[in-house]
Structure 1
Amino acid sequence: MNHVGTQELTTKRLTLRKLKLEDFHDIFNNWAGDKEVAKYTTWYAHQSEEVTQEYVKMVVRPYNELNYYCWGIEYQKNLVGMISVIQVDEEAEVCGIGYVLSK
């Protein structure tokens, strides 16, 4: 595979971009702190913005690695979700993705 890392992608409706540390407030309010959104995910709803802030620090740390992919999903200038590559099989050249969207 030819890895290029998390690059910004823009369509007519959406922008996929790297998350920023200051996004934690929107992430908490739009999906991470929402029990209904987290109901069918592999993680529990965050109990506080501080938990989300620590999570975002972990997410943005490896952005300089070319085999790391994690985007914030913007719709009409609002951060409404995220999508990331969660599993890579280099030999088969396939990967899995995980995503979450706000209500």
Structure 2
Amino acid sequence: MTVAADDASCNPRYGENAQIQVEVYDGSGAKVLETLAPMNDAGAFSVSLDLPTDAVPGEGMVAAYPYNVDWCDDMGRNNRVGALGAQEITLVSCAIPSMPLRIEP
């Protein structure tokens, strides 16, 4: 299967060595895959994965998020904004972005 995303529209500036962390959970909720893949400065990526043959059928999940980037802390602040000198930001959810994955037997 391929997990991919286009560039973000908000210019996140992840940097030239950015990576995406992709996790796949099977129908039992167990993590069956975890990998890092290159991601461009604007957040686009594409990674091909082979689902393990022992993955439990059912409703699983694929999660993908920037690796080693902490922009959400317990105070609700964007930790990267101070270095950029930004005066105003729009807060967003810090939930891990995920999509459902139907695993057939």
Q: Place the TM-score, normalised by the shorter chain, in its bin.
A: under 0.3
- Taking structure 1 as the reference length, what is the TM-score of the superposition? 0.25
Greater helix share, structure number: 1
Please say which structure displays the higher CA radius of gyration.
Answer: 2
Greater strand share, structure number: 2
- Taking structure 2 as the reference length, what is the TM-score of the superposition? 0.24
